[in-house]
Amino acid sequence: MGHRLVLTSFGESHGGCVGALLTGCPAGLEISESDIQPMLDKRRPGQSSITTQRKETDRVEILTGTYRGKTTGAPIAMTIRNSDQRSSDYDDLKHVPRPGHSDYPAGIRYGGHNDPRGGGIFSGRLTATQVMAGAIARKLLDRCMGIRIASYTVSIGGVDAHIDGMPSEDSIYGNDVRCPDTEAAADMRDEIVRARGSGDTLGGTIQSVALGVPPGLGEPIYNSLESDLAAAAFSIPSVKGVEFGSGFAGARSRGSTNNDPYTIQDGTVRTTSNNSGGILGGLSTGMDVTMRVAFKPASSIAISQRSVDTRTMSGTTLRVRGRHDPCVVPRAPPVVDAMMAMVMADHAILLGMIGPVIL
């Protein structure tokens, strides 16, 4: 992904490692593993009883692209080794595809040569590679433009959070569903525990906000900020919906209520509401860029479902074994954060707002 700041993700869930190759990062940015590890730790599985019990240490190693603690301008390669795989859990899935997962179309697309273990390249594990690159993009934005990003859970199952303003990192990561509304967070947790108890899974929504984005960032028509953000969000497995500002609710309102009236605040043009989500014409308005991303319930459920056996071309049933997330949402805020940061940093580099050398 990316125009100038380009990310290539590689690896499989049960292969040797997963990794990120990031090209186009300016020289001179102070970067070490300690900038990346905290974001990876927030995504890591096995941290609480409401995520998969697969235990990965997810220790990032920067292999290339830095010298004396700073980026050199050369490609940055980063990896984490895979461990704690139980590949036998996936033996059946080569011929009996999981409803709702990528098994069937992937088998067709790669003529059966794809690695099915742990979902192969379609695994949520690949989102670790997005987080690695995103941590660098985040630092670039903070260091060069003062842009800060926060992503947090706003709904899980039937529970909605009520959040005013930009929540702090502590309030987001202070509970295991990553929701700054502590009352809603407790209900969300209960709902996940109930769903898991019946062998089922839940979906939810994550909101991502970029604060301090100057007006005019982006491109018109194609490669607009919205289209690049949406493409980046849809690259996260399980994401089935994206909206900006008032989004789908805006489609049911009127221009008179959906428009954001202009005003002057401290000598700067601002709007009194932000139904546009901080983007008009594919360009940032100077208000907070606000995106919401909808995650479906994870498909691997411990309830018997109808499937087919592609060897005999007959119907069968499947009850998915193995360690799976009862809800992927609590692990995804760092991933959505990363995608927001990558797109913002890429556009800033494209427009020369972040130069090739950081002074």
Ligand X SMILES: Cc1cc2nc3c(=O)[nH]c(=O)nc-3n(C[C@H](O)[C@H](O)[C@H](O)COP(=O)(O)O)c2cc1C
- The Cα 278–Cα 293 span in angstroms is 16
CA-nearest of 7, 237, 12 to 130 is 7
Which of 26, 124, 167, 334 contacts ligand X by CB under 6 A?
124
Give the bridge partners for 219, in sequence order.
none
Q: Which range in 78-86, 135-143, 161-169, 331-339 contacts ligand X by CB under 6 A?
A: 331-339
Site residues for ligand X, 20-79, by CB under 6 A, read: 52
- Which residue among 179, 324, 336, 344 contacts ligand X (CB under 6 A)? 324
Q: Does 127 bind ligand X (CB under 6 A)?
A: yes
Q: Which of 65, 73, 116, 119 lies at the binding interface for ligand X (CB under 6 A)?
A: 119
- x/- binding map, residues 96-115, to ligand X, per CB under 6 A? -----xx-------------
CA distances 77 to 25, 33, 85, 109, 141, Å, are 12, 12, 23, 28, 20
> Residue 317: how many CA atoms within 13 Å on its side-chain side?
6
In 3D space, the residue among 354, 287, 359 whose CA is nearest the CA of residue 136 turns out to be 354
Q: What is the dihedral of CA 182, 184, 188, 189, to 10 degrees?
A: 30
Say how far apart CA 175 and CA 187 lie, in whole Å: 12
Judged by CB under 6 A, the residue of 25, 185, 217, 236 near ligand X is: 236
Taking CB under 6 A as the rule, does residue 238 contact ligand X? Answer: yes
* Binders of ligand X in range 191-230 (CB under 6 A): none
Rounded to 10 degrees, the C-alpha dihedral 352/353/356/358 comes to 160
- Pick the closer one to ligand X by CB: 230 or 283: 230
The reply to whether 130 sits near ligand X by the rule CB under 6 A is no
CB atoms within 10 A of CB 309: 14
Q: How far is the CB of 299 from ligand X (least distance, A)?
A: 4
Residue 117 binds ligand X (CB under 6 A): no
Contact (CB, 8 A) for 141 and 113: no
Sign of the dihedral defined by the CA atoms of residues 41, 42, 46, 49, in that order: positive
Q: How far is the CB of 213 from ligand X (least distance, A)?
A: 25
Segment (H or E) for 316: strand 314-318
255 to 314, contacts with ligand X by CB under 6 A?
Answer: 296, 298-300
Q: Which residue lies nearer to ligand X by CB, 216 or 240?
A: 240
Q: Of the two residues 19 and 26, which places its CB atom closer to ligand X in the complex?
A: 19
**Residue 131 or 348 having the CB closest to ligand X:** 131
Closer residue to ligand X, CB minimum distance, 188 or 332 = 332
**CA–CA dist 278, 333 (Å, integer):** 20
* Site residues (vs ligand X, CB under 6 A): 52, 101-102, 119, 122-124, 127, 236-238, 296, 298-300, 324-325, 328, 331-332, 335
